[in-house]
Amino acid sequence: MANKFLHYRKNPAAGGIYTEGGAVLKDVSGVVGIYDTAAEVPQNLDNDWETFVTVEYDWDPTVDSIHNLVLNAAGNGFDKKWSGKTVAEQLQAHHDEQKEIQFKEKKAQLKKQINNKASTLIERLEGWKLQKAEQQDFLSGGTDKRTAVYQEIENIRAASNVKQAELSPHDPTTLVGQNALNAFDPHGWGEDIQSDPAPANTEGQWLDTPTA
Q: Annotate 159-177 with b (16+ C-beta within 10 A) or e (fewer).
A: bbeebeeebeebbbeeeeb
Measured from the CB of residue 169, what is the shortest distance to other proteins in angstroms?
21
Return the residue of 56, 60, 79, 123 that touches other proteins, per CB under 8 A. Answer: 123
Q: Does 65 bind other proteins (CB under 8 A)?
A: yes
- Tell me the torsion sign for CA atoms 13, 17, 23, 27: negative
Q: Does 199 bind other proteins (CB under 8 A)?
A: yes
Of 186, 202, 168, the residue nearest 110 (C-alpha): 186
Residue closer to other proteins (CB basis): 16 or 142:
16
Cβ distance 49 to 15 under 8 Å? yes
Quick one: how many helices (H) and strands (E) in the chain? Answer: 4, 7
Helix (H, G, I), strand (E, B), or coil: what is residue 212? coil
Binding mask 67-106 toward other proteins (x if CB under 8 A, else -) reads x-----------------------x--xx--x--xx--xx
Binding site for other proteins (CB under 8 A): 9, 15-16, 18, 26, 28, 30-35, 40, 42-49, 61, 65-67, 91, 94-95, 98, 101-102, 105-106, 109, 112-113, 115-117, 119-120, 123-124, 127, 186, 193, 195-196, 198-199, 201, 203-205, 207, 210-212
